Chains A and B, each alone.
Chain A
């Protein structure tokens, strides 16, 4: 009985099948991974922060839906007069979840504004919580050197999963939990709508990152990547800037976790594994070429298409390989990584020099400077040279008196 309910919840509103199903699936994963890979490119490609904890931010997005949005939905539905089974304690929260979610789907069906507002609420909260988790990560880790920072972030990704596995109130523990279908009002296949929304958010994220990178802050990021000691020596707060970058990118990364939760209508910590949400985006970035968005997109498109085709056609591919096909994906990850690092260390599309529209560097460099430095106003006023030093120590007053 429970199995039928579970299967019904997972497949509700899914009508597209065959090749179209595969295309929708690839588009959805492309949208999700492109958000994560662009955020990673923003952090590593442009600021040199090796974030090996992308999974932490993605899992935060998923937990936002399962831990906060679902509770808010239940509370609002009960306030509107819908009768739900008890869900206050951990046991009821997990075991009454399928029944409550089924009731919620009936509630959302005729209320489009409710579904849309819950989607927007989840995205906003995951953006904030993603930034908060970025700040939390930055606290102990940001002062560390690259290698130690990577180790700390890998550990945090595992820690986030352990929290999800052992605290049922977050995401139903090891059983996971169903999420009400916020697209229940949509008359067609919810996965197509979900893919469109994900791709739209991917485009918005792209323009956000693009604007950031073309701004003076983007140039500061690149300067930190090249030599943080020099940037620090001219008075910039390197630690603060790195923390801001990590927070901003973490917020954007968390959006993909939220979108995945609504796509599956199900959240379990095992869906947010470190290998899946950290190593694959890293491979996309390294394959495409860090430091430019075109490379990130190319890497993302190639890897996602390859993975989905392998997963869908495992049955046919098994006849060709002598080893279990289940390992093929992991082998592919390793082989591709080694091949790219050996033969194309800069990726398929190497990073180009910085070009900012409207700024003519040639003119700036060749411009004649007509300033008479002797008559130019002093930055701190007063005199210079020995007199200035004397005045700084109180000797200047005597000079004026004499």
Chain B
């Protein structure tokens, strides 16, 4: 396997990892926000 092919796949990995991490973080944050909101509503109702 030549250097270009290895670097090409490194590039593809970087290209996939970066947005995947951002999407994962976005989903985690939205989930945490929803939980915090639910906890606030619960506290207010009680």
Specify which of A20, A23, A362 lies most central, judged by the most chain B CB atoms within 10 Å of its CB.
A362
Which among A206, A292, A352 is the interface contact of B33 at CB below 8 angstroms?
A352
Which among B7, B11, B18 is the interface contact of A206 at CB below 8 angstroms?
B18
User: In whole Å, how far is A255's beta carbon from the nearest beta carbon of chain B?
Assistant: 16
Q: Contacts A294-B26, A355-B33 known; A301 to B19 CB distance under 8 Å?
A: yes
Residues on B with beta carbons closer than 8 Å to the beta carbon of A202: 18
Q: Contacts A186-B3, A294-B22 known; A362 to B36 CB distance under 8 Å?
A: yes
What is the interface size of chain A, counting residues whose CB is below 8 A from a CB of the partner?
36
User: In whole Å, how far is B34's beta carbon from the nearest beta carbon of chain A?
Assistant: 10
Binding site for A on B (CB under 8 A): 2-4, 7-8, 10-12, 14-15, 18-19, 22-23, 25-26, 29-30, 32-33, 36, 39-40, 43
Do A195 and B22 touch (CB < 8 A)? Answer: no
- Residue on A nearest B44 in the bound complex, by CB: A366
User: In whole Å, how far is A350's beta carbon from the nearest beta carbon of chain B?
Assistant: 11
- Bound complex: CA of A270 vs CA of B13, how far in Å? 32
Binding site for B on A (CB under 8 A): 15-16, 20, 23-24, 27, 30, 186-189, 192-193, 195-196, 199-200, 202-203, 206, 292-294, 297-298, 301, 349, 352-353, 355, 357, 360-362, 365-366
Q: Contacts A188-B4, A188-B7, A297-B22 known; A361 to B36 CB distance under 8 Å?
A: yes
- Residue on A nearest B33 in the bound complex, by CB: A355
Number of A-B contacts (CB under 8 A): 70
Residues on A with beta carbons closer than 8 Å to the beta carbon of B22: 206, 293-294, 297
Do A16 and B29 touch (CB < 8 A)? Answer: no
Interface of B is mostly: helix
Do B33 and A353 touch (CB < 8 A)? Answer: yes
User: In whole Å, how far is B3's beta carbon from the nearest beta carbon of chain A?
Assistant: 4
Residues on B with beta carbons closer than 8 Å to the beta carbon of A297: 18-19, 22
Q: Contacts A195-B11, A199-B11, A199-B14 known; A349 to B4 CB distance under 8 Å?
A: no
- Residue on A nearest B23 in the bound complex, by CB: A294
- Residue on A nearest B40 in the bound complex, by CB: A362
- Bound complex: CA of A290 vs CA of B36, how far in Å? 23
- Bound complex: CA of A349 vs CA of B18, how far in Å? 17
User: In whole Å, how far is B35's beta carbon from the nearest beta carbon of chain A?
Assistant: 9
What would be 8 A-B contacts, judged by CB atoms less than 8 Å apart? A188-B3, A192-B7, A196-B10, A200-B14, A206-B18, A293-B22, A297-B18, A365-B40
